[in-house]
Amino acid sequence: MDAVVVQDLIKIYGKDDVRAVDNVSFSVKPGELFGLIGPDGAGKTSIFRMLTTLLLPDGGSATVDGYDIVKDYKYIRNTVGYMPGRFSLYQDLTIEENLTFFATVFGTSIEENYHLIKDIYVQIERFKDRRAGKLSGGMKQKLALCCALIHKPTVLFLDEPTTGVDPVSRKEFWEMLKRLKQEGITIVVSTPYMDEATMCDRIALIQSGKILSIERPEVIVNAYADQLYAVKADHMYSLLKALNRFDHTINSYAYGEYAHASFRGPATEHEVVEFLTSQGLANIEMHRIAPTIEDCFIKLLKNS
């Protein structure tokens, strides 16, 4: 049985029928690290809030651990761990008090499940008498993860856990998630950072409440049919405009200091450079690259 099964889930906000979640279906296998990847406002948080019984769906159904999110919400609240996107622990209680409080609320104790949080907790343990409100962003994140884990949940929901966290802490955080996976905990995580997608076992790319694709990250990347090029010239803006004008361009967009572009069959690298030169661009640099998840996402967006 799958840990999370979502069937045609719908959430509508407001009077003008904004479909924040539009017929979303996916399932997560036990022990899987599943990522919901999409930009802000894609509907990730709404899905999380419905799965953690904080929000009632307007259509469709879903089960977590076999329990229905509407009928059996009481069971779900006992078994899942949820870490909201915004830090939601008591800022005026210390690290230890927060942890003890959430442990007792679930009828357990820190000692009982210490093995689960040990790796994370040791990093913040020396500040355990400090109030949560006085912690740095990274430490808050670790504390929130500890609190979500302290009752040994079967499914862990992490809503944008790495948003606003520095790159080093982000990396650390994903390492922690991998270790938790080995404990057999199913993890559903959302993030707006495409580069984090490769850390997941499977990802769902989501945009405007709709799922564009659900696959293993490498499959998504491999499915990118066209040859992608990184192009650079002395003038970025003119380069982008020129690429747009080129007859054989399938897709082109800015990507860091390069422009990424793909071209239809007949156009060779040589022809592209020639065209760009004819458009008055100089110092043209062009080479083949392997697509990233972000490239796939942009392509999917264009197709949909």
Partner 1 sequence: MRTIRFLLQKEFRQIFRNKIILAMIIVMPAIQLMILPLAADYEVKNINIAIVDNDRSTYSQRLISTITASGYFRLTGYNGSFKEAFQLMEQDDADLILEVPSGFEKNLIREDEQKMFIAVNAINGVKANLGGSYLSSIVKNFNKDIRLDLMPAKGVLQTPTIEIVSTNWFNNLLNYRVFMVPGILAILITMIGGFLSCLNIVKEKEVGTIEQINVTPIKKYNFILGKLIPFWVLGNVVFTIGLLISWLIYGIIPIGNIGVLYAFIAVYLLSVLGFGLLISTFCETQQQAMFIMFFFMMVFILLGGLFTSIDSMPMWAQAISKLNPVSYLISVMRMVILKGSSMKDILPHLGITFVFALVLNVLAVINYKKTS
Binding site for partner 1 (CB under 8 A): 52-56, 73-74, 77-78, 80, 82, 84, 86-93, 97, 101-102, 104-107, 147
Three-state DSSP class for 210? strand
Nearer to partner 1, 156 or 231 (CB): 156
Nearer to partner 1, 88 or 222 (CB): 88
Nearer to partner 1, 55 or 214 (CB): 55
- Minimum distance from CB of 162 to partner 1 (Å)? 18
- Minimum distance from CB of 18 to partner 1 (Å)? 16
- Minimum distance from CB of 79 to partner 1 (Å)? 9
First to last CA, the chain: 32
User: In whole angstroms, how far apart are CA 264 and each of 29, 238, 251?
Assistant: 39, 21, 10
Cβ atoms within 10 Å, residue 203: 29
Name the E strands within 160-296: 186-191, 202-207, 210-215, 228-232, 249-255, 258-263, 285-289
Query: How far apart are alpha carbons 48 and 142 in whole angstroms?
Result: 20
Nearer to partner 1, 112 or 271 (CB): 112
- Minimum distance from CB of 297 to partner 1 (Å)? 29
Nearer to partner 1, 55 or 286 (CB): 55
Closest CA to 186 of 49, 3, 1, 52: 3
- Minimum distance from CB of 26 to partner 1 (Å)? 21
Closest CA to 184 of 224, 155, 217: 155
